[in-house]
Structure 1
Amino acid sequence: MKGTAVVALVASLVPIAVSAAEVDLDEMRNAVMKYKDVNVALAEGYISPDNHCVSAAGEGLPAELGAMGIHYIQPALLEITATAPRVDGKGTYTDWAKPSILIYEPQADGSLELVAVENLVFEAAWTASGKTEELVLNGRSWDQMADDPATKGDEAHGFAPHYDQHVWLFRENPMGTLMPFNPNVTCEHHMQ
């Protein structure tokens, strides 16, 4: 094999779990398409621990930012170690072919529509693992999230300090595909 062919072969074998990943969003969308059916997600171990629909207004942010939706987490991928006082874990998982979080928007008929995916790594676990690279997806650094007790909202959404990255694969986001909130998503039809 010529040198360039070897480089191309090696590059094709690199999983999309690389932290500073350049990921083809169409490939990512195809990889997670099966989760459009929430029953498939449930069968694969995803859960919605509190059935909470995250909206900007509900988090003390301007309502015009929109919402995220209901988060279905995969506890095994996040390596959850505690749920109180905040969800915490040892997870440093970054594979976009099977993200650790699926995000659904409640619909008027009671169904759920997959709108986005997310990966989350716990800050303490990332540091303890010895990883030093910055978490980046398609040129955007992941958000560093920690609750500020001085504010009304919960900036970390019930989780211990962590890094996370949202990807709006199934709902256009005028603020950007990789931004946390989406004005085109609502919790209006959420039933507890």
Structure 2
Amino acid sequence: MMNRFALALATAAALTVTTTPTAVAAGGTDTSRAAAERAAVYRATARYHRHSEAVKAGYVPDRYCVADPAGTGSLGYPHFNHSLDNSVDPARPTALFYEDDGHGGKRLTGVEWVVFDRDGSLATDDDRPSLLGKPFTGPQRGRFPGQPVHYALHLWLWKKNPRGAFEPFNPAVRCLPGTTRPKPHTP
């Protein structure tokens, strides 16, 4: 029986596709480029199914699971490698997302790229990046102290998101009770 890591590597290898450079979908998206970029993400992140490999590569685990404030799904446990902030390289995402695997470990579910807004203004978006045939969302305020106005692109590569592969939160990813960041007490 093939283990999950070997299966991930086999999947990544199988996704190394070659398509004609002229394949353009309605709306002007170069589907061959998007497919090649997606294959690069699979190849680059397959090794991170071993949680220890992600940590060794500089992805710092958040000890809390991040739930959707609307109450429908979550990001799971983000692992950021801030040396990869501003990357638009499909093989170098800024963050990896994990969920509890039910056996005391973590299972890789998705990735995210974060690119800082050049002028730091929420009112302009002339520097919006794109990857995988999709424009990044934003500009948006930083999510933690010190994070500048930025753009983000989520990809639920390793776990299907019923809302879509590029949606920020995944209803198929759940935070276990007691794993989310405690809310600050207000008097």
Q: So what's the TM-score if we normalise by structure 1?
A: 0.64
| Superposed displacement of residue 140, structure 1 | 2.6
Structure 2 stretches lacking a partner, 5+ long: 1-20, 22-32, 181-187
- For the residues of structure 1 that align with 2:35 and 2:126, how far apart are their CA atoms? 20
1:165 matched to 2:159? The reply is no
Provide the alpha-carbon RMSD of the alignment.
2.6
- In the TM superposition, what is the alpha-carbon distance from 1:176 to its structure 2 partner? 0.7
Residue 190 of structure 1 deviates from its aligned partner by 6.5
SS at match of 1:40: helix
Bigger Cα displacement from structure 2, 132-141 vs 181-190: 132-141
Query: Aligned partners of 1:95 and 1:179: how far apart in 2?
Result: 19
- Work out the percentage of aligned pairs sharing the same amino acid: 27
What is the alpha-carbon distance in structure 1 between the residues aligned to residue 92 and residue 178 of structure 2? 25
Counterpart among 129, 136, 146 of residue 140 in structure 2: 146
Is 1:55 the counterpart of 2:49 in the alignment? no
User: Per the alignment, do residues 140 and 53 of structure 1 end up closer, same or farther by CA in structure 2, a change over 3 Å counting?
Assistant: same
Structure 2 Cα separation of the partners of residues 190 and 125 of structure 1: 39
SS in 2 for 1:22: helix
Mapped contact 2:65–2:75 kept (Cα < 8 A): yes
Q: Does 1:107 align with 2:101?
A: yes
TM-score by length of 2: 0.66
Aligned position for 1:75: 82
Aligned position for 1:178: 166
Cα displacement (A) at 1:122: 1.6
**Distance apart, 1:133 and its partner CA:** 4.6
In structure 1, distance between residues paired with 2:178 and 2:159: 17
* Equivalent position of 1:97 in the other structure: 91
Extract unaligned runs of 5+ from structure 1.
1-7, 9-20, 79-91, 148-155
Counterpart residue type for residue 173 of structure 1: N
Q: 1:145 to 1:54 in 2, by over 3 A?
A: farther
Shift of residue 143 of structure 1? 1.3
SS in 1 for 2:66: strand
Match of 1:86 in 2: none
Identify the structure with bigger relative contact order (alpha carbons < 8 Å, sequence gap 6+): 1
Q: Whole-Å Cα distance in 2 between the matches of residues 99 and 47 of structure 1?
A: 13
Alignment partner of 1:117 out of 111, 119, 123: 111
- 3-state DSSP of counterpart to 1:169: coil
1:134-170, Cα deviation, whole Å (9 max, x unpaired): 31233432111534xxxxxxxx432432111011111
Q: Secondary structure at the match of 1:39?
A: helix
Answering whether residue 64 of structure 2 is matched by residue 45 of structure 1, we say no
Contact 2:117/2:127 (CA < 8 Å) preserved in 1?
no
